[in-house]
Amino acid sequence: MPKLQALTKWLTPGIGVKRWLIILIVGIALIAVGFSIVMLLFVNIHLLKNLPQFSEWAMGIAAILLGFDLVGIAFLKLSRNLLAPYRKHQQGRVIDIVYDHSKRKKGLKLVAIGGGTGLPSVLRGLKAFTSNITAVVTVADDGGSSGRLRRELGVLPPGDLRNNIAALADDESLMTRLFQYRFDSGDLGGHAFGNLFITALAGVTGSIETALIETERVLNIQGRVLPATLDDVNLSASVRLDGAARAVHIQGESDISKAGGQIEQISLIPANVQAYSESVQAILEADLVVIGPGSLFTSILPNLLVKGIAEALRATSAYIIYVCNVATQPGETEGFTVAEHVLALERHIGRGLFHLVLANDTYPTLNAGFNTNYVITASQHHEILQRYEVRYTDLTDPDRPWRHDPQKLAAAILKVSEEERVGASSPKLAFTET
């Protein structure tokens, strides 16, 4: 009975299936008739020695051609009508959408690690080239909307997760814009709708993992977003304030950058938080891993200090790129060069965790304002150049030059990744690098 009801639904008037199904059947029948006529004419020629009239040949060939036309039109119309409910927010021809989807599906297995406003730049740029993207995101935020939800409801802070999910979604989608909407008054003032959505979904489904999966499904994103850990974790920093004889300890991600001193060391509380297994697995299976960009001490290192993340990065066969920030960050990296960013990473996680450093070497003044201080290139003979390949190029956003341009960044990442793959496949280059 259910099968009969389903069949009846296909015959419902107005859904645009019956007419094209009938035309498809007619087209197939015409092709069959046309081939039958042509075969009979060949039989007459070879067995009965009768020479068919031109009109008989024309009838058979016309039936075949008309049949193929009807079949092609029917297939096109049926595909559009059947796929229409699944592509409401996707513009363009069906074949273009299918082609792009297939191309992205075959793209690199990419893992991007970070948080804040930097990591979404990587995701926005690379989602056009691959749908095999996994963003591994810090969950140590304790400020703003995320901090309030964390303190009041005991959930993982959803802010960085939300930003990166939105970066992988369709930027023009109404749902994506709604997800990023922030209330500006009342009891909900300061809360982003997406933060509330993820928190509520975690309550309904019973876990943040399931909530993220369902959120990604709602926004139809190209990839997935995972927390670095499922544990409740906070940041602690040793900060040397201006003029102070010794460093002070500050706890809480939101207070560290506000302190206004020089961060000497960052650590996790508790120190033994374990990495989320799905995040570790993604790193181990990746073709390419991108670390950053983002706040060095409060977005990038909180991921790398989680037990299991750095170990997975050392164990993976993926090519690993560290993307240095375009501009220094007040309260974290004031006065830092590219080299000092790398040295700070080494001080916390040791040497050799990544293969290449990708950094900006263009310092535009247009739209930069008075507060932008660019990260300057490393000195020509700096020690980091002996340990890593450092690649410089223009990565600045024309409108907000203190940030990365997603397209420029994606192009640079794909270029060095392709060069590495070509080099790895060459016996001569592989031997030189060993």
What is the CATH classification number for the domain harbouring 105?
3.40.50.10680
Q: Are residues 239 and 362 in the same domain?
A: no
Q: Quote the DSSP letter at residue 375.
A: P
Q: Are residues 350 and 424 in the same domain?
A: yes
User: What are 374-412's pLDDT values in tens digits?
Assistant: 999 999 999 999 999 999 999 999 999 999 999 999 999
Q: Are residues 242 and 292 in the same domain?
A: no
Taking alpha carbons only, the member of 309, 314, 411 closest to residue 355 is 314
Q: Are residues 43 and 102 in the same domain?
A: no
DSSP, residue by residue, 3-49: HHHHHHHHT-TTSS-HHHHHHHHHHHHHHHHHHHHHHHHHHHHHTS-
Q: Are residues 304 and 398 in the same domain?
A: yes
Q: Are residues 276 and 378 in the same domain?
A: yes
CA–CA distance, 136 with 110 (Å, rounded to integer): 11
In terms of DSSP bridges, do strands 262-269 and 319-323 run parallel, antiparallel, or are they unpaired? unpaired
User: pTM for the whole thing?
Assistant: 0.78
Highest mean pLDDT (candidates 60-74, 130-144, 250-264, 305-319):
305-319
Residue 33 lies inside a defined structural domain of this protein: yes
Give the confidence band of 426 by pLDDT, cuts at 50, 70, 90: very low
CA–CA distance, 86 with 89 (Å, rounded to integer): 8
Residue 7 lies inside a defined structural domain of this protein: no
| Structural domain boundaries, residue 433 | 98-138+228-233+270-434
CA–CA distance, 237 with 265 (Å, rounded to integer): 6
Give the confidence band of 49 by pLDDT, cuts at 50, 70, 90: low
Q: Are residues 311 and 423 in the same domain?
A: yes
Residue 2 lies inside a defined structural domain of this protein: no
Q: Are residues 28 and 56 in the same domain?
A: yes
User: What are 121-179's pLDDT values in tens digits?
Assistant: 999 999 989 989 999 999 999 888 998 999 899 899 999 999 999 999 887 678 788 89
Q: Are residues 277 and 412 in the same domain?
A: yes
Alpha helices (runs of H) in 154-261, residue ranges in sequence order: 159-168, 174-179, 193-205, 208-219, 253-256
Q: How many domains does the chain have?
A: 4
Q: Are residues 349 and 393 in the same domain?
A: yes
Q: Are residues 132 and 157 in the same domain?
A: no
Q: Are residues 275 and 411 in the same domain?
A: yes
